[in-house]
Structure 1
C-alpha cells in the first residue's frame, strides 16, 4: 500500500503497485499521468456515475464531511469532499482532494496495523465504513443545528424574546433562511450516502461471497440515510411551524387594524356630521352642547371596544 497524499514524489511507470491501495491527490498531474500510461485510466476527468473502464470500476463520491473544528452555523462546519475510487479485485486507487480527509487517514492506519495483507476489497470496505462514520458525524452536527433552530422557532411562536422586544417577520425570515441551508445540506448528505451505498453494492459485484463485514457496512449506510431523512422531516416540521407563526402574526396585525377602525369609526361619523354647514343646529345654542357631543363621542367609541373585548378578540 502506498500513500501519495503526503508527498508529490514522481514515480516511474514501472513503480506503480499492482495490488493494495494507492492514494493520489487530484492535483498531482504527474501521478495521474503515470496511472494513465500504466493502467489506461483517465482519472483527471469528471465522472458522474459508476462506470467500468479498463477492467476498473470507477465510483465517484461527493460527500459533505464535517470540519475538524465544529461551528455553530451549518454552512461553516462542513466541506465538500469529491473522491474518485477506482478498484479491481487486486488494486484500489483513490483520487482525493488536496485538503486532508480524516476518514481516509483513519482507514489507512487501520489497514497498516492489520496483520494480514489486505485485499483491495477489504480496503474499500474499510474506506466506506470510515466515510460512513464521518457522514454520521455530519448528520449529528446537522441535528444539533436543527435543535438550535427549533429553539428559535419556539421563541418566534412565543411572540417575545427575553429583552421584551416582539419577534418580527425579519426574525422569522432569518430562521427560515438558516433552515433552507440546513435542508440543502441534508439533501447533499442523503445523496452522498446513496453514493456510498452504491459503492458498497459494487463491492459485491466485484466477486466473492457476501460476508459479515459487507452486510454490516451496507446496513450502517442504510441506517445513516434513514437518520438523515429523519432530520429532513424535522426541517419540514420547523418550517411548517414558522409558516404557521407567520400567518398568525399577519392575522394579528390585521386584527389590530380592524379593532382600531371599529373604535374610531363612530367618532369619525359624529365629527363629520357636526362639520357640516347646516343653517339650523340647535345644539350650538346649548351651554352644555360641547360636553354632550364629547360624551356621546366617547360613548360610541367605548361601546365597540367593550364589545370586542367581551368577545375576546383582543387576545
Structure 2
C-alpha cells in the first residue's frame, strides 16, 4: 500500500507541475515580450500586474463554442489536441528534479524514453491537419511533419554526445556525472540540442507550420474553444520540457551550492532561465523560410552534431 501511495504522490506532483509550470512560462512570456517591445502587457486580470491573465484566458476558452467543421473527421479532430499534450506529461515523469528520489519514475533509459516520446508530437500535428479538412491546415501539417522529422536527427545526435560523455542513458546518472568543464567541450551539443528542440515544439523562429501570415494558423486553423486552449497549453508545456531537458543534460541539473537541500531550486532556476531564452528568441528573430529551415538542419546542425560525437569519442578515449 505504501508503494501505491508513493506512486500516486509522485504522479500527482507531476500533474500539478504540468498544470502550473506552463502557466508560469506563459505569464512570463506575456511580460517579457511586453517589456522587450516597450509596452505594458496584461495589467488588469487578478490585480497585481495582471497575474491571472492566463487563468482568465482559460475561462474564456471554456466558455467559447466548440466547433467541429462539417467535413472534418470528427473523432480524429477531437482527439488530436489531447495527443499533443500527452507526450510532455510523460516526459516530465522521468526528468529528475533533484538528487536521490526526486523523480517520478527513474528509468535506466530515461533519455531514450524522453526523446522517443517527444517524437509523438508529429502524430498530433498530422492528425489535426488531415482531420480538419482544410487546405491551410493540411499545408501546415505537412510542414510540421517535415520539420519535426528533420530536426529529430540533430536533437538525438546532440543528446547522444552527452550520454556518451556520461556513459549512461539514465538522466539521473548523467546529472550525477556532470562536470562544470562540460560547459566548454559540450557547448556545441548544447546549442544544437537547444535549436533542434525549439524546432521540435514549433516555436518562433521555427513556427513555419503555423505561419499566420501565410497559412491563417496552420494545423490549428479550425480549432476553437477548449481544444485550441489545449494546443496553447501544449506549446507552453513543450517549453518547460525542453528547458528542463537542456538543464539536465548540459547545465548540471540540480548541481549548485548546497545541492542536497536546494537541488530542486537550482533545477527550477536553470529551467526558468532556458525558458526565458526561448521567449527572447521569439521577440528577437524573424520566422525562417521553409528552405532556410531545412538548410539549417541538414547543412549546419547535422554535420556539427556528428563532429561533436567524434570530439566526444576522442575525449573519452583520452581520459581512459
Q: Which has the higher strand share?
A: 1
- Select the structure of larger CA radius of gyration: 1
Q: TM-score range by the shorter chain?
A: under 0.3
Report the TM-score, using the length of structure 2 for normalisation. Answer: 0.25
